[in-house]
Chain A
């Protein structure tokens, strides 16, 4: 597997304008980041921070005001890149007059696939998202969660290499969101790259390798989840079972440095704590932006 980034975003800005070209809102400001192959990348941020905007810019649904995007080595405006991408929109924008089978067949036809593969893949996906009973019902009769599920199936119809998920667990029941997380990990195990946006921090913590936190269109944090959550103020030592004398000795050493050992170990924060801290800091000190050192 090459280590070329799957997604390269450079100085990406987006200003929404009204009909007359007047500026309405700057939704994204000079965002730069890379997504590496095979990782699960999480985009976090409060409502309206520009997550969905970023995904839409990646897909070429929106045109950037400034900056460049390269996705699977192609510019965002090149539709042929979509052959290898799957996208689950924030809300499932599907044709409500089609049923589940017809929906998958329709989207399948937009890709280079033989009719047999298309049929097979559609059956598998319907089975996978648990809509077997409802496969012949029109989507307008579906509940929110069911629509989400068919939306997910549609995103995977082409067996994509890169999967963009916009709030994948929203609207799903606990079982469904468990399944979704398992699926993400399974896809990762198959070597796919996944970019997801979410508010559900526990989900992100469970599945993401790296995260970026956006606040008002600016990148505030970008790192590996593990590194971010490591508490720098504490040291954790984990060893195979030590004899009590050894523990005593370590305690003595710690005492010599003026530290008291509560528990030997390096605790992890929850992502929730980190997220709230970043947002609070950003609100207090606006204008500070994460400078991406790895991305040139």
Chain B
């Protein structure tokens, strides 16, 4: 978990983005459906002008189109809200049977083979067990995802199109089954198979881990509580970044020793529940040093915690200690401290202010620097079990699998198997590799700010060979172009969110390095991510399936 900054889930931002993206998408879909309906009804009016038929009007066509559209929408939402669990269940079981009889469970055999041979490549008994754990854990979790994803991918992309092509779905829709039930039943059926496979694989994987690394048994994982970081510069003035010492990796910023420079962490929600068995608050840090001179090589760089209550200005210093470079240093803090005026103070009552703990970090070694980032100092809540962390990571793989199933099944309601596979494949590849790239591409420099303007403006510049630095001459057309560009840029900015971010589901980084999978920056975002896609996918998928005659071959 080096250089990884776990961000707490931001409800407001998430819902805002979701609302905007879904809103735009639905608006687009609704508009398209509406136009198509009206168009088809209008065309029909004209087509049917034949001998003996009264000539009907464009108006009639428009009216019929609107009526058909409104009807469809009302009926659709009724179908989506009132589904029969019995019928959904019947279809779920059907899909499960189909998948099993198509020998999907063979992936388990592949999984087993993986592990038979994994032993040859991974086992190196001479290695430090602490270094082996990350490799083994990552291997198990990766193996599970890489085997389950292709399996459900194929099942969900080809299932429904095959069902339509073989016309077996025909007979089903002559029964009192809603299209929504068909869609949801199929999603659940594939999910059931996937769940079974993931469950077996994760249990086997865990047992294999325990056998290969007996030290894993009963191991604990850290439960970090992260705070927010700010800095004071060498004059003691607040800044939001420290010094850059020229490291390419800009993750950490540095404070200079023996100056007024400080890094300040604020932790919220600090209360008795975070204390360890001995009633102590445990602070863990992995601060990095940067030496400008050799200094005393025997001794590390010295740093010091000061606990501050900003309201009462009570300040208590903790005894200074050396940083343990490349390892974590763990300091349990007593409740009884001595403040700067030599009065005894209590950490939890006198320092912690409305659940907020403020910790200043100073570097005491002259001329040396300390580098730190937000996750480098954290409170260690009571440890959790490794098993729990492992299975939480598995749960996230499951969520990712579910997301892919939902997406693929929904896409397959409207296109055939190969196209559905292609689209889902593109989404997965973009979701794994392309999101950062898209971010850079779409966001430009600032948010929605490009050099040379938006799409239309750039096009104009390209055609007229105009340098992007030359400002556009003011005028009516410039304004028009810029006004039109703004929503397009916004659309481009948000369209990125249509692609799921598969990084959200990767929890191996926590488990492998001995951390518990956090709720707020691990599980919750993964769950919300899946839900965010579930709702629009099911709605759009349903309407696509509903509008199909299922007759086309």
Number of chain B residues whose Cβ lies closer than 8 Å to a Cβ of chain A: 33
In chain A, positions 96-114 with a C-beta closer than 8 Å to chain B are: 96-98, 102, 106-107, 109-111
Q: Are A93 and B167 in contact (CB under 8 A)?
A: yes
Name B101's contact: one of A61, A79, A87, A97 (CB within 8 Å).
Answer: A97
- Tell me, yes or no, whether B278 is within 8 Å of chain A by CB: no
Q: Which residues of chain A are near B169, meaning CB under 8 Å?
A: 93
- Tell me, yes or no, whether A56 is within 8 Å of chain B by CB: yes
- Tell me, yes or no, whether B446 is within 8 Å of chain A by CB: no
Could you show 19 A-B contacts with beta carbons less than 8 Å apart? A19-B552, A61-B170, A61-B549, A62-B551, A66-B48, A82-B174, A87-B174, A89-B167, A93-B168, A93-B169, A93-B170, A94-B168, A94-B171, A95-B94, A95-B98, A96-B166, A107-B172, A110-B172, A111-B175
Q: Mark A222-243, 1 if CB is under 8 A from B, else 0.
A: 0000000000000000000000
B3-11, B84-92, B424-432 - interface stretch: B84-92
Q: Which residues of chain B are near A65, meaning CB under 8 Å?
A: 44
Name B550's contact: one of A61, A66, A158 (CB within 8 Å).
Answer: A61
CB-nearest residue of chain A relative to B102?
A: A97
Q: Which residues of chain B are near A96, meaning CB under 8 Å?
A: 166, 168
CB-nearest residue of chain B relative to A91?
A: B167
Whole-angstrom CA separation of A218 from B167 in the bound complex: 27
Q: Which 4 A-B residue pairings sit nearest by Cβ, starting from the closest?
A: A109-B90, A93-B167, A110-B175, A82-B176
Whole-angstrom CA separation of A92 from B172 in the bound complex: 12
- Tell me, yes or no, whether A117 is within 8 Å of chain B by CB: no
Whole-angstrom CA separation of A60 from B175 in the bound complex: 11
CB-nearest residue of chain A relative to B53?
A: A30
Q: Which residues of chain A are near B170, meaning CB under 8 Å?
A: 61, 89, 93
B51 CB to nearest A CB, Å: 10
Q: Are B44 and A93 in contact (CB under 8 A)?
A: no
- Tell me, yes or no, whether A59 is within 8 Å of chain B by CB: yes
A184 CB to nearest B CB, Å: 19
Q: Are A61 and B551 in contact (CB under 8 A)?
A: yes
- Tell me, yes or no, whether B40 is within 8 Å of chain A by CB: yes
Number of chain A residues whose Cβ lies closer than 8 Å to a Cβ of chain B: 37
Q: Are B167 and A102 in contact (CB under 8 A)?
A: no
Given A61-B174, A110-B87, A21 contacting B40 (CB threshold 8 A): yes
CB-nearest residue of chain B relative to A16?
A: B551
Q: Which residues of chain A are near B174, meaning CB under 8 Å?
A: 59, 61, 82, 85, 87, 89
Q: Which residues of chain B are near A158, meaning CB under 8 Å?
A: 175
Q: Mark B170-190, 1 if CB is under 8 A from A, else 0.
A: 111111111000000000000
- Tell me, yes or no, whether A63 is within 8 Å of chain B by CB: yes
- Tell me, yes or no, whether B63 is within 8 Å of chain A by CB: no
- Tell me, yes or no, whether A270 is within 8 Å of chain B by CB: no
Q: Mark B93-118, 1 if CB is under 8 A from A, else 0.
A: 11001100110000000000000000
CB-nearest residue of chain A relative to B75?
A: A77
Q: Are A110 and B90 in contact (CB under 8 A)?
A: yes
Whole-angstrom CA separation of A134 from B48 in the bound complex: 52
A293 CB to nearest B CB, Å: 17
Q: Mark A52-90, 1 if CB is under 8 A from B, else 0.
A: 000010011111011000000000010111110101010
Q: Which residues of chain B are near A63, meaning CB under 8 Å?
A: 549
Q: Are B549 and A106 in contact (CB under 8 A)?
A: no
Q: Which residues of chain A are near B97, meaning CB under 8 Å?
A: 97-98, 102
Q: Which residues of chain A are near B552, meaning CB under 8 Å?
A: 19
Q: Which residues of chain A are near B44, meaning CB under 8 Å?
A: 65-66
Whole-angstrom CA separation of A116 from B75 in the bound complex: 33
Whole-angstrom CA separation of A259 from B94 in the bound complex: 70
Q: Are B167 and A109 in contact (CB under 8 A)?
A: no
